[in-house]
Structure 1
């Protein structure tokens, strides 16, 4: 047999010798392929390549349409389109040059870092174009943690956020992998794997509102089936007279029609079709914030009264411009009562009939609309003023933009509940902070409406409020409907009740304690004369409304003064009721709160003391959150007893232990498990094929597997060659020529080899494999152990 043209004796041309010469020859071969591709015009796309590129762009582009509901506006389209086109272009060049698939993936990663700055993360750019170190850090962080942030942010996400890098990344990878499969595999069906994965990913990251059902359903199906038909036609040999071409076209069109008809008729009855709720990640991912961990502002209401140790009665808390006088400025909407406090809840996760929206992180803009006129309000916190986690807002909030020295810190941690329009900043407002919010602010009602169609239901379901029944019969009188009964109770409170903030230390009013727990409100309603402040009156009226079957909640905030300077004197609590249209109607303090100068009767207090005992505070361990504990210590009842930290709780570990476990030991454990898993699968597959099927086939497969192992150790036996030629190529490291002759004798011999012959050949091949491993260095052995290509090689016939 004549030598092959590329068989030379020089070390730089030895394709099988290990070490540095083999690396140099591989690099030389790569450069030769690149040069040959450039000279031969391989970079010029063929007709089939253009067809595959067009279908890739169309399919992946249709899948990317799902980002429309995630982002506000069309700013996501540019990074997605650029990423898709670049992914296809890079893959075409590397495929034309016959480079490994790892090359276009590496180029895509580099393009993501270089173009992610000007296309998506536009902050901290050098000269407005070049990415900086901060840009690279933001892009890397978004590629890892951005997916979770996207599904926890309130959609649609502000287009100025760095999350625009996600459409760029998905488009780059989707275009690259789809076109790479199309140009490297001839199987018609394999090309749909990557587009389907992109479509599923975008839908999972989307919202409950479909982005485009017709486009992502019917159009995607037609494009996918059409591409498979086109690729299947390439692999068929054309008939002599071409008479079957029209038949195949007709069959393809019929298949598309059947698929569309089946999707139209059967689709609504499949899981996820019809009226079934869409399965998206944001429905199952719990936002990473515990609202119950923050104290209810109503529990600290006496901080704003006079006299009190905080001395906030005349202290400027906020400087507000843009809101008319008399407009309610909301601190927090409190829609959950647990028997101790009215607090803010995350009702989207309660699973009750009254469930509403949850707290979600938002950017500078929020896509909401509400009644009233769109208003821009500027708020500044003076030194020594308002300092809490609850962000004062008004109306239906449509956007918040922070200023001051803590602008980035506050903006990155802004949470909003669009159902209650309650905003939360865990970093807590401080003196010198400022922000501007836009909102739809409705006109402020002067009085309670005489008639109102109210909704039915209750926000208080797990707390026994039966102590109100005895008073309701006397307060409501002959009122015919729930709203009339509610108005009657409010009038009784305002007409017969007295106002007190607890008085001074030696005053009779010291017996009237703060708080609005069941015990405190039972005492409040059990006396002959109601006596308290906004805290007790608003909390009781809200419980009355829910007891009457009207959804009612408490709001803590301030009534805007004409000067725009909010002080403790302007801070109040009021209630809101939900009407039959689902709108929350405010019932302000002037509709149920008695005049501040109307004090409780001293004689009543002494008589009640003799009846039920002095009003003493409950034990310290059971006291409800109140101003006596201080605003920082006043916690919701669900948070009063924190469970002890456990040894297996990572949050209780020192930082260096967490770093060692999660960034060193855990990755090493995962890599080790993957290493042994790959080795075990290859060993199992090798023995399975060597012990099953015809004995001649076992021998042929054993030889092919031995050559695959030799290639993983860095040798280059030719693929399309006889066993003797492959053995001669391996004669340098190991003499496999006798084993090749033995394999040919078993496969081409006159008789079928016995089971003992096949088993003996497998043992001999295993010994040769051991010799190859012994001659390889440590790096070659590790690379061979984790090489997964033998797992996907076809069985030799």
Structure 2
């Protein structure tokens, strides 16, 4: 007995060490040691729960209940990113269900979001309990697979990089294989020793040779893993790669559709108040790099374009240098500074930012609502709040305004190779105008300057004093180019410039935002400050801004009327056939400027959600009870020899307990059968008990035929026991968890009883 306990202690120590090593990959999703620390603490608690439940001989359901209680009672006070009060309990309960999805959809590091340490906590706690119970049940293969499963979760929910892959992989592989080899070697040694009883007959020598062979094989495997791991491809497949962006931009109108409304209807309305905005900096709303003939939009094509992700504290908002997307123009500009936006009349989903925005921190009464719905795309440097912004919202941003490179510097640089959205249905007249304006010029910067000069010699009109249609669709731009002179506002000129650049192979995009210095006040941003410009990507410096809209005082003096000579007589044309209305992109209605939410779709009532959750929880609990009983029955039927016969008797006793009949402790099987016969007269339990005793106390092991007959009798007795009960009572008995709480391992006395009886 002492030797068996020593072996289990050794197995348990090895498993615990391997579980702790398996938490190392949690460094990647959290970007720090916090994931490993939480996972290691959870592993320690899980091992402790497993030891206590194994010593108390508790079955699976009580062990699960203890684990759940430890999770609910301790996690809110141990996890560092959860409030240490009653609200933390709610966070932990919610994260228990949602963390598996959120950890795959939220950007790394996960420390930027609350309750994310629930992932290593749950993984370590569950694996610690399961591995410990597997060790004490003698299922060392299951314990080894549990160790590997813990490391697999940490890797799958992380990123493509893994810290110390050679060391961690080699140690885990060697540890698990060593555990299995050691258990197999000791198992063979015990079997041989039992057969030979007191005679050594070379058992010790054979054991030493087997241990030496196992050790040599294990060392070879460890060496191969350690050598091959660094040479293995570093790009691994993780679950994060299988999830698509959670935000669909087709539900939102293009920000450029706001330009005409802002510059006319809200020209004198204070949209926001800006503090500490660097000199010369402009406010960005969105960068649009695709065009479909109707509007310019932010591209979301598969494998390229925008990838909006939820952001939190510490989430990097500037793309990495090797991300494939050009950054904004960089140089020896001023250092990082903090800019504060206090919103007033600005009630749109698009977030005002400044190039380059390093972090966004919401404040005010709606800070939590904004944080829960704040998305950002580093490709287009655009932020979006799905809950929409409202008056009195406060956004604090850490920004760094890059220096603007000179033409002399840009001349030495080539255009950047960036993946932009598609440009479709561009009028042929726009492409022809671009070619005619650049002529034979081949230098990219000279081509851009030629287009810029041509557009800035046009006329500015927002439609209030001189006719100028809004929008930037293909028909509007074709009419603008075909006119005697160019007339439009920021919306038309910026899109026209982007399309002409793209027709020449120049990577350009439109940026919509505000220039606070337009009205002479850089603090209060009004609708009059709305602006749009074009950015072109250059190597080394990234996106460089170009203003293409004429000065606002450069308005057309008069409208040139087109003369028509010898007009043809007008003839009444037949009516056009009716057509289905075209599916237009979404537009901003009245924009709900007062911040009311009466026109927004309402979600499900809380009572309905609670009822659905309670029903789903009840169904899952009942399914778990039925599954536990089925697994218990299958485990009993797979036993060997006398233990299999005793398993059939335990199955009958458990059925009686579920039906409300408990067997007193200390009775023999025949005495227990006599007690139960009063409640189940048609089941003939005394005869069944005698058949069980005949197999237990007979000389030698029972045959497979006899054991099959025992189980066939048990299968026939179980339904007979409930046959005289009402249907609802039989259903309650099937769903009753009472028999699952009986002490585990009571059938282990079978071998001892048989030997004593013989």
Q: State the TM-score, normalized to the length of structure 1.
A: 0.74
Partner of 1:288: 246
Do the aligned residues in 2 keep the contact of 1:500 with 1:531 (CA within 8 Å)?
yes
Shift of 1:574: 1.2
Give the Cα separation in 2 of the matches to 1:566 and 1:166.
43
Which has the higher mean CA deviation after the structures are superposed, 401-410 or 106-115?
A: 106-115
2:28 corresponds in structure 1 to 69
- Counterpart CA distance in 1 for 2:488 and 2:266 is 19
Q: Deviations over 1:467-501 (max 9, x none)?
A: 22221221110111444433322222123x22111
- Equivalent of 2:237 in 260, 264, 279: 279
Given the alignment of the two structures, is residue 153 of structure 1 paired with residue 118 of structure 2, yes or no? no
Tell me, in whole angstroms, the C-alpha distance in 2 between the residues paired with 1:119 and 1:607.
Answer: 82
Q: For 1:424-463, what aligned pairs fall within 5 Å after superposition?
A: 424-445=384-405, 449-456=410-417, 459-461=420-422, 463=424
Write out per-residue CA displacement over residues 657-710 of structure 1, whole angstroms, 9 at most, x where no aligned residue. 965994466666667777888899999999x99xxxxxxx99996785354232
Contact 2:285 2:351 survives alignment (8 Å): yes
Residues 334-349 of structure 1 aligned to structure 2 (within 5 Å) = 334-345=288-299, 347=300
Pair 1:351 & 2:310 matched: no
The change in CA–CA distance for 1:745 and 1:595 in structure 2 (over 3 A counts) is closer
List gaps (5 residues or longer) in structure 2. 194-199, 320-329, 571-578, 594-600, 678-683
After TM superposition, the structure 1 stretch with the greater mean CA deviation from structure 2, 727-736 or 652-661, is 652-661
Structure 1 residues 628 and 248: alpha-carbon distance in aligned structure 2, compared to 1, 3 A threshold: closer
Offset of 1:57 from its aligned partner?
3.2
SS in 2 for 1:162: coil
Q: Which residue number corresponds to residue 223 of structure 1?
A: 175
Aligned to 1:4: none
Which of the numbers 48, 51, 66 marks the counterpart of 1:92?
Answer: 51
Give a deviation string over 1:115-168, Cα, whole Å, max 9, x none: 32233266654xxxxx32x22111100111122122211111235622223222
Could you say what secondary structure the match of 2:30 adopts?
A: coil
Displacement of 1:209: 2.7
Question: Which residues in structure 2 correspond to 1:429-578 (within 5 Å)?
Answer: 429-445=389-405, 449-456=410-417, 459-461=420-422, 463-465=424-426, 467=428, 468-495=430-457, 497-504=458-465, 509-510=466-467, 512-561=468-517, 563-578=522-537
Question: Which of 357, 376, 388 is the aligned partner of 1:416?
Answer: 376
Preserved contact between residue 480 and residue 487 of structure 2 (Cα < 8 Å): yes
Q: Describe the SS at the equivalent of 1:242.
A: helix
Q: Distance in 1 between matches of 2:63 and 2:627?
A: 28
Write out per-residue CA displacement over residues 311-366 of structure 1, whole angstroms, 9 at most, x where no aligned residue: 33xx4333223332111221112233222222234x3xx324xx045111111222
- Secondary structure at 1:243 match in 2: helix
Determine the C-alpha separation between the residues in 1 that align with 2:644 and 2:415: 79
Which aligned pairs between 1:34-183 and structure 2 lie closer than 5 A?
A: 47-48=6-7, 50-120=9-79, 124-125=83-84, 131-132=85-86, 134-159=87-112, 161-182=114-135
In 1, Cα distance between equivalents of 2:525 and 2:533: 17
Matched residues in 2 for 1:61 and 1:628: separation?
54
Secondary structure in 1 matching 2:250? helix
Check whether the contact 2:316–2:358 (CA below 8 A) recurs between aligned residues: yes
Q: 1:622 to 1:742 in 2, by over 3 A?
A: closer
Structure 2 CA distance for aligned equivalents of residues 364 and 251 of structure 1:
54
Paired position in structure 2 for 1:5: none
Which whole-Å CA distance do the structure 2 matches of 1:92 and 1:317 have between them?
Answer: 63
Equivalent position SS for 2:237: coil
Report the equivalent of 2:323.
none
Q: Decide whether aligned partners of structure 1 residues 605 and 730 sit closer, same or farther in structure 2, where only a CA change above 3 A counts.
A: farther
Residues 193-246 of structure 1 show CA distances to partners (whole Å, capped at 9, x for unaligned) of 222222222222112333442244222212222222333344333766733454
Q: Whole-Å Cα distance in 2 between the matches of residues 48 and 440 of structure 1?
A: 62
Kept after mapping to 2: 8 A contact 1:335/1:553:
yes
Match of 2:261 in 1: 303
State the distance in 2 between where 1:685 and 1:706 align. 14
CA distance in 1, matches of 2:164, 2:233: 15
Closer/same/farther in 2, CA of residues 680 and 89 from structure 1, 3 Å limit: closer
CA-atom RMSD in angstroms: 4.7
- Provide the C-alpha distance between the structure 2 equivalents of 1:176 and 1:516, rounded to a whole number of angstroms: 63
Partner of 1:773: 722
Aligned 8 A contact 1:323 1:560 in 2:
no
Give the structure-2-normalised TM-score: 0.77
The Cα of 1:765 is off from its aligned counterpart by 4.7
Which deviates the most, 655-664 or 464-473?
655-664
Asked if structure 1 preserves the Cα contact closer than 8 Å seen for 2:676 and 2:685, the reply is no
Report how far residue 49 of structure 1 moved: 5.3
Q: 1:170 to 1:464 in 2, by over 3 A?
A: same
Partners of 2:307 and 2:703 lie apart in 1 by 71
In the other structure, the counterpart of 1:387 is 347
Q: In the aligned structure 2, how far is the partner of 1:278 from the partner of 1:150? A: 17
Number of residue pairs aligned between Structure 1 and Structure 2: 688
Distance in 1 (alpha carbons) for counterparts of 2:317 and 2:218:
41
Match 1:202 to one of 139, 154, 160: 154
Displacement of 1:558 in angstroms is: 2.1
Structure 1 CA distance for aligned equivalents of residues 129 and 566 of structure 2 = 84
Q: Residues 58 and 682 of structure 1: is their aligned pair in 2 closer, same or farther, counting only changes over 3 Å?
A: closer
The within-5 A match list for 1:313-332 is: 315-332=269-286
Q: SS of the counterpart of 2:425?
A: coil
Corresponding residue number in structure 1 for 2:327: none
Partner SS state of residue 380, structure 1: strand
2:23–2:40 CA contact under 8 A, matched in 1: no
Alpha-carbon distance in structure 1 between the residues aligned to 2:407 and 2:565: 37
Partner of 2:598: none
Q: Is the 8 A contact 2:95 2:116 kept in 1?
A: yes
Call closer, same or farther: CA 1:320–1:177 in 2, change over 3 Å.
Answer: same
| 8 Å contact from structure 1 (residues 556, 573) kept in 2 | yes
Contact kept in structure 2, 1:335 and 1:344, CA below 8 Å: yes
Distance 1:746 1:608 in 2: 115
The match for 1:639 is none
Distance 1:429 1:765 in 2: 68
Q: Deviations over 1:641-668 (max 9, x none)?
A: xxxxxxxxxx999759965994466666
Q: Quick one: structure 1 residues 255 and 179, their matched pair in 2 at CA, closer, same or farther if it must change by over 3 Å?
A: same
Please say if 1:188 is aligned against 2:140: yes
| 1:608-623 mapped onto 2 (5 Å cutoff) | none
Return the alpha-carbon distance in structure 1 between the equivalents of residues 248 and 651 of structure 2. Answer: 55
Q: Contact 1:393/1:437 (CA < 8 Å) preserved in 2? A: yes
Contact 1:73/1:159 (8 A) holds in 2: no
Comparing 165-174 with 364-373, which one deviates more in the overlay? Answer: 364-373
**Quick check: 1:595 aligned with 2:551?**
yes
Instruction: Provide the secondary structure at the position in 1 that maps to 2:511.
Output: strand
